[in-house]
Chains A and B, each alone.
Chain A
Amino acid sequence: MPDRSRSLARLQRRAGRLAETLGDWRGRWYATPVLGVGLLVGLVVLPLSLDVPVFGTRLGALVSPNILVVALLWATAAQSWNIVSGFSGQFSFGHAAFFGLGAYVPLVLSREFAVNPWLGMLAGSLLAAVYALCIGGLSFRYDVGGSYFALVTLAFAELLLYLFINVDQLGGASGFVKPFPDAYGAEYGLLAFQFRETVPYYYVALGLLLVVSLVALAIKRSRIGLYLFAIRDDEAAASAVGVPTIRYKLFALVVSAFFTAWAGTLWSMYFVSIRPRVVFGLLVNLDILLPAVVGGLGTIFGPIVGSLLLTVASEVARESVGIPELQDVVYGVVLLLVVLRTPGGVVTWPSRVAEALAIPQRESESEEPRGPPPAATEGPPTQGVDERRAESDGGRGDPAAGDPSEHDG
């Protein structure tokens, strides 16, 4: 018995050291770039390695190129959603509005006026940004926040849904089929935004995701990001120390809408036809926000990891059992478990595992209280404030943030 407990203690000590190393390493300036480049390289080689054997079967049997495109698509949308809802805590339940505009505008322009979809994407994202300006301008001016903001954004999204259902010139309720590249004088290829195979779409999606992630990272590390997180943590306090809260919330919403439209364009160029319900519907709002929530709210890696996890897990569940609805059940159960068990999201799992193993050892040493696991944040390591972001939120309008046990008292 004493032998076992000693070896257990040794194991815990080792885990504790690992947690510390992990925490220290995550705090270094090069941690995020190294992880980011690693993730990028992994995603670049992923479609090339579908023949690699895993668990006695091909990797391609678990994930098809199609699923990977869809995963990156929702990752892009979630990354954009995260800019306003994760950073500034303004929980939007209506990003389908921007997604749908991004999906519809390029298709309509290329069908009616033979405009290249890339230009159409720009037009769509500008329109989405203007729409966001209207939504944000009205709601922030009238100080609509929390649950009410979620409902306002939902109403604006549903408004577009019913508008597009009713305007026959835009295809009406049954929508229309995507025009072929020669409809706007182009050949299949990058310039036409249409390909004959799936894999090129994957790399376009990866490129868009990369741009959006870099923009999100730049915002997060800038002064603007600091203001946004201050608004999320305590809007009244941020306003009191002179942060123009309305202006910054508006900025976040507009940028977020602009890039959400990119994901919409990718959607409409990838699939064959479009209908209002599938790009503006209630459930699209959920598809956009869930990867970010599951992965880790307010983090850059969260939406990407969350989207890969959700899409691949639900696809594997569907393929292995053969019941399509099981996909949704897996989706819901994953969401439930993440919210209840790890509100910081999937990105906090490695450090949480190490921490959990290390707790008894730390109590025995008890030299100085360690900070929370820094893995949940990617802010500049020099700012102590940044390290505490993940744990210090109040619950207000800020889903999946903080440890619920903290709020129990």
Chain B
Amino acid sequence: MLTLQPLLVGPAVFAQLLVLGVLLGSIYAFVSLGLTIIFGVMEVVNVAHGAFTVVGMYVVWLVAARLELSPFLGIPLAAVLLFGIGVLMQRTTLAPLGEEAQGNKFLVTVAFLIIIIALVEMTFTATPRQLSTGFGSWGFADVYVPEGELYALLVAAATSAVVWTFLHRTHTGRAIRGTADNRQNAAYVGIDVRRIDYLTFGLGAALAGLAGALITFVQPFDPYLGNAYLTVAFVVVVLGGLGSIRGAVLGGLLVGMIRVFGAFYLPGSYYNVLILLVFIAVLLVKPTGLFGGPTRA
């Protein structure tokens, strides 16, 4: 039968859960960032996002386990490689489909998901891998912080800050946000929307690769882990509002909290059921997401 934890726990346990929730939530938010940026600009639900994270994971694994270099070197490498893959994919398959074929674009990303996962499995086999990082954990007054998660949080926060600055403080970034607001008007004021699309898809893919690289710091991985994170990313971006960066961050933290507290209070993996129930409720009551609105990206 269900064995439930007592509802009231000591402040130390509560603080511990809160910390773990923030750490996990930041990873969820970061995984969702690229997905939401791509949707904001191009209105494409990119199913290949999960496959991009998997590629990022194995880039780090190659660098750390095969070349025996620092896993941190794999992070920029994953970003650069996936930027290339993203631009190439946009250029060769998505752009030729034209402006309005959203359903077809969805299917193209599905095809890429299938192909990339199969290729990764062919190259690296389906055996679960784990980095031997030797990360420990730090304790602050009864609350312990795992080292790998902390590095992931720091890199994710730093990258998000860079992306935010890029989108808000540079000319190209403003052009991307303008395109997200209104593609047609963006084209009228002289923005090269096709170029913005390449850039956005590359950026989204690079962020997915970065997120995948960070996931290797936190847990063992196999070629199918991307599918699990894809589902999480869907939930997060819809909770936060498709296309909203702020929404992705807050949605990621919310899902991270539900998961950590749900895993503590509920037996088994019922927290997944809880997350999906919250997701469905939000989607039905406010399809534009908790933080989504007329302003995007």
Contacts and interface: CB of A to CB of B under 8 A. Distances in A.
B234 interface: yes
Nearest to A294: B107
Given A162-B269, A165-B269, A408 B99 contact: yes
Contact of B284 (A142, A327, A398): A142
A147 B115 contact: no
A159 B277 contact: yes
Contact of B107 (A148, A159, A328, A335): A335
Q: Is the interface of B mostly helix, strand, loop or mixed?
A: helix
Interface in B224-239: 227, 230-231, 234-235, 238
B122 A340 contact: no
B160 interface: no
Interface stretch (B58-66, B90-98, B166-174): B90-98
Interface residues of A, number: 53
Contacts of B97: 339-340, 404
B111 A332 contact: yes
A217 interface: no
Contact of B100 (A155, A333, A407): A407
B103 A408 contact: no
B227 A335 contact: no
A340 B97 CA distance: 7
B118 interface: yes
Contact of B104 (A283, A326, A329, A400): A400
Contacts of A219: none
Interface stretch (A36-44, A174-182, A246-254, A389-397): A389-397
Contacts of A142: 284-285, 287
B107 to A, nearest CB: 5
Contacts of B114: 286, 328-329, 331-332, 335
Interface string B232-252: 001100100010000000000
A171 interface: no
B106 A147 contact: yes
Interface string A88-117: 000100000000000000000000000000
B107 A166 contact: no
Given A142-B287, A155-B279, A162-B269, A400 B111 contact: no
A156 B114 CA distance: 22
Interface in A217-248: none
Interface string B84-128: 000000000100111111111011101111110111011000000
Contact of B45 (A150, A156, A286, A401): A150
A306 to B, nearest CB: 13
5 contacts: A142-B284, A155-B234, A323-B122, A328-B114, A399-B107
